[in-house]
Structure 1
Amino acid sequence: MNPVYDFIQKNRVLALIEKAQQTNARNLALDDFDLTYFPDVLISCQGLHSLNIGHNTIVDIPLEISQLKNLQHLSLEYNHLDIFPETLKNLPQLITLNISHNPLHDLTKDIGCLVSLETLWCNSCLLTRIPEEIGNLTKLQTFGARHNKINKLPNRICELINLKWLTMEDNNLNSIPKEIDKLQMIKHINFNKNNFSYIPYRLSKLKNLKYLHLQSNEFFSMPERTIFAMPHTKINLQHNPLRLEDNKIFTNIIITGSENEILDMIGYDSDSSSDDWDNSLDSTELNYSATDEDSDNENREVISNMPILSKFLVTC
């Protein structure tokens, strides 16, 4: 890396942290600053509620992060974490965690310690399984694990009684747990690009389920019994090798149509109170933007004042 560019980037980061410390800021965005490590001075920002440190090359999260007792929203997406950070288990107050696009392979049982989580994104993490400890997260409302290699859902996922949005797109699933009907709050399920060849009849017992995405699976015939039992659910069966009978009409099934037509029919859940749900698109873009005086405009002000140097900066 260019030494001058590296110097400027480091100083920008330290200046933003110093400003956050001085103003007792609630929100801090350090994404895309070419960070290779978690800055130790961040621990001084005791007022932080939201921290976005994604789109860097961080490989480890230090134990000291547990000192951020007010931290509720944490984004670590697009870093180089190859194991689930054990230190996160010391942040049981976290409400939102985005750890997508890290080569984790496993969430480990430590995920079960984050008992306050309402939103968890772990897309594109090379996961092969979800640990049973996910069942500890009984406050979880949104769970996304797209683009992984998961072939089975844990039985304890059925204990997530507040779950409303579940997306497991692009995995290796072909079945669901027997007690899935316990998820009576769920509204939106995305099983696109898996290996389902039938719709489990147990899904018909989910009376709040509005949208069921089953595009690009292995349906050769129409699962009529289940479809008739789910008149309240829009089911998307596009891009399946279905053999259709002309005289069959299913008003809640989507088989053909343009992308815009599909969005109109199954689009964003208008009853959703979560800005994090992205209608099963490819990327999660959690919004950690501040709404108070320590917003992005203030961050820009800090950067625009360069070359004022942070007092933390050490040069050789």
Structure 2
Amino acid sequence: MHEVIAHRHRFRALSARVQAGAAIPTAIAHPCDDVVVAAAVEAAEEGLITPIFVGPAHKIAVAAQCAGVDMTRFRIVDAPHSHAAAEQAVALVKRGEAKLLMKGSLHTDEFMHAVCAKGGLRTGRRMSHVFLMDVPSYARLLMVTDAAIAIFPTLMEKRDIVQNAIDLAHVIGIPSPKVAVLSAIETINPALPSTVDAAALCKMAERGQITGGIVDGPLAFDNAVDAAAAREKGIASPVAGAADILVVPDLESGNMLAKQLSFLGGAEAAGIVMGAQVPIILSSRADTPRARIASCVVAVLLAQACKATDVAAVAEG
């Protein structure tokens, strides 16, 4: 199953966790690019999603023709432009016609504007993006957050960013993820606010404001992912050298880190937005078809976990 990502054994292991025969209805906002259409159709053929294409019908048809796929079996919701497509895709989710939302070929800020608008998909928690990365040189899947949505997150927003990533880790089978809060140094220095935030996040985890993971920081990147580097600096930490989650100070640093891991480190990355009413697949226009499929796998696992929780809650009630 899901042969398109078979060469990446860690993502293959995730795909094996998807329940068979449970394709999730997915609204795709403005899929007017052949790569987007091809990846969505391939995800449908893999049994992951049932795509609903929302956007200018003539542009979708051209993209499908370029991708060489037959669209007659799929639902297309005509929308005049990208802004309307994003709004209508969100409306499909609000009406319960779709259980997942996917960004197509439009800018992230335009897409997220519809998501975050009044009556959109907000919850009581700050939305944040998580890159789930299969780095060939690292011993486990590595999450990087937030590298796409929160530009300069406050301390309380970082609390949500950490909790969102921990919740995702639980769904993909990491019961007690190790969270490294990154900075440039390992000591607390008021001149470097990210170190102060890191210390506060650790205390919040101790006091139960963050749950389900082991949080430590500040840690520099090398100490978070390399045990020898941590030992060289005399850092005694259950997280150092074995991080599952890297929490970055801001969007710029996170975006650069994720792209360096992808383009120089050969990593494959899935991207997902947490903290909304449904999982949101936030792919980059530069993503490969494999990365898009991997993002669908993660989103489906999240949707299935939410459904299982709802069923359990009804049974207990």
Is TM more than 0.5 here? no
Greater relative contact order (Cα 8 A, min sep 6): structure 1 or 2? 2
Q: Where is the strand percentage greater, Structure 1 or Structure 2?
A: 2
Q: Where is the helix percentage greater, Structure 1 or Structure 2?
A: 2
Structure 1 length-normalised TM: 0.31
